[in-house]
Amino acid sequence: MAYKAYADVPWYRKNWFVIVSIIIFYLWPFLLLSMATGDLYYEKNGELKKTSRIAVIGFMIVLVAIALAFGALFGDMNTE
């Protein structure tokens, strides 16, 4: 679907959702799903722009690597 304005873009494809998802770790699966199923959009100088596919793929790789690192560091925290 081709959007004409930033206001037409669904909330889960907007730049602010990406930022909030990075801050709130539990939203990462939704962010990865959004990235994998379509484009992400941002507004620059009043013009609607799409995030490049290469940037999205790179960002997905970084998110998965961070999630795996957190799992390796904190995954087995037995308190016995």
Q: What is the DSSP string of 1-33?
A: ---SSGGGS-GGGBHHHHHHHHHSGGGHHHHHH
The pLDDT score that the predictor gives to residue 68 is 85
The pLDDT score that the predictor gives to residue 36 is 86
The pLDDT score that the predictor gives to residue 8 is 93
pLDDT in tens, the chain (80 residues): 688 899 999 999 998 988 888 788 778 788 888 888 889 999 999 899 999 989 888 888 988 888 888 878 777 666 56
